[in-house]
Amino acid sequence: MLAIPEEIRSALFLGAEPHPLLGKWPGIVGWQPLKPLATAWEKAGFTRVDEVAAAKWPLVLVLPGKSRDEALAWFAMARDRLEPGGKLLVAMPNTAGAGRFEKELTKATDTINSLQKHKCRAFHATDDGTWNEEIFAEWRALGKLREISGFTVQAGIFSSDHIDPGSQLLADHLPAHLRGHVADLGAGWGFLSDAVLHRCPNIERLDIYEADSRALACARANLSVHQREITYHWHDVVTGLSETYDAIIMNPPFHTGQATDVDLGRAFLKVATAALKRGGKLLLVANRQLPYEAALEASGLAWRKIAEDRTYKILSADKRA
């Protein structure tokens, strides 16, 4: 807030997250592709947009994720929404490479101001008409849809530059007899969904749940080749599902094994267990060291490990009929 002149009372916030100090600003509009954060933003009473309109703002705030290409593409998106003379303000934790990104932005803006506190940096530049538009054009291109192995992806979403080897292992072990009403939880850009639709002709409907709206949009593009019934949900799986399923497939977030990620994975398992019909089947892939067997055991499912390699394991679990 120290970087923001008193007279500015409207802004666009890319990667919006709520903060009490922003409550003083009636004119702040947030864009947030991640559903749990989008919900938090709205619950705090702020205005949210699904798409960033082509309007211009005197101030654009940017709170990017960890992906390099995503952060730079967001700098370009911010630049495109800035009024002449407007201010672009970025905040990042040092662990996400704040220093490196500050240097990058300086390449384009020449002059930059930086504030450092709490292992984070806030850096900002004012559009004085001398910014290097060629650099912004390069960064703009980083945000465009791309292709890997024939699939559409975008910078910043999960596995945007490769097919996840864990998901590949699960795809290789999907049984062909999955049928009826099936869900893919945390479906990303649709790799597993594509595999299950190819493998299982008796799926009547596939429901895709994904928290990242950009990944969901890619999944729509990637799965449109299948002439099957598919529904798409921009949804925080942790909040539960309102339908029940004959089968659920998932590569739960995430592989790092950090405590919070394990909790998120466990929450996915709990929601999946609750959403299985009697006799329903859950198939999941996880890093070998993740303690999901105990969670399956506690949930009363009959489970077994059907495959593993040096890094991943595939667990299959049945809800007793």
Which positions touch ligand SAM (CB under 6 A)?
36, 158-159, 164, 167, 186-188, 191-192, 209-212, 215, 236-238, 251, 253-254
Residue with smaller CB distance to ligand SAM, 110 or 263: 263
CB of 34 to ligand SAM, least distance (A): 7
Closest CA to 175 of 123, 247, 223: 247
Please report how close the Cβ of residue 261 comes to ligand SAM at its closest, in angstroms: 9
Nearer to ligand SAM, 56 or 66 (CB): 66
Instruction: Kindly write down the DSSP assignment for every residue of 144-201, as one continuous string.
Output: S-EEETTEEE-TTSTTSSS--HHHHHHHHT--TT--EEEEEET-TTSHHHHHHHHH-T
Q: Which is nearer to ligand SAM, 73 or 192 (CB)?
A: 192
Query: Structure tokens of 257?
Result: 């094994």
Q: Which of 292, 273, 290, 282 is nearest to 249 (CA)?
A: 282
Cβ 106 to ligand SAM shortest distance, Å: 31
Phi and psi torsions of 319, nearest 5°: -90, 125
Nearest-approach distance from CB 139 to ligand SAM, in angstroms: 23
Q: How far is CA 54 from CA 78, 97, 124, 268, in A?
A: 11, 29, 21, 37
Q: What is the DSSP letter of 146?
A: E
Which of residues 130 and 242 has its CB atom nearest to ligand SAM in the complex? 242
Nearer to ligand SAM, 105 or 241 (CB): 241
Ranked by CB distance to ligand SAM, the top (closest) residue is: 186
**Between 207 and 236, CB nearer to ligand SAM:** 236
Q: How far is the CB of 70 from ligand SAM (least distance, A)?
A: 13
CB of 318 to ligand SAM, least distance (A): 21
First to last CA, the chain: 57
Residue 149 C-beta: closest distance to ligand SAM, Å: 12
Pairing state of beta strands 82-93 and 120-126? Answer: antiparallel
CB of 167 or CB of 316, closer to ligand SAM: 167
Peptide bond into 254 cis (omega under 30): yes
Q: What are phi and psi of 84, to 5 degrees?
A: -55, 135
* Phi, psi for 272 (deg, rounded to 5): -65, -45
Q: How far is the CB of 143 from ligand SAM (least distance, A)?
A: 17
Closest to ligand SAM by CB, 102 or 212 = 212
Place of tokens 């490479």: 97
Q: Token match 């990620």: residue?
A: 261
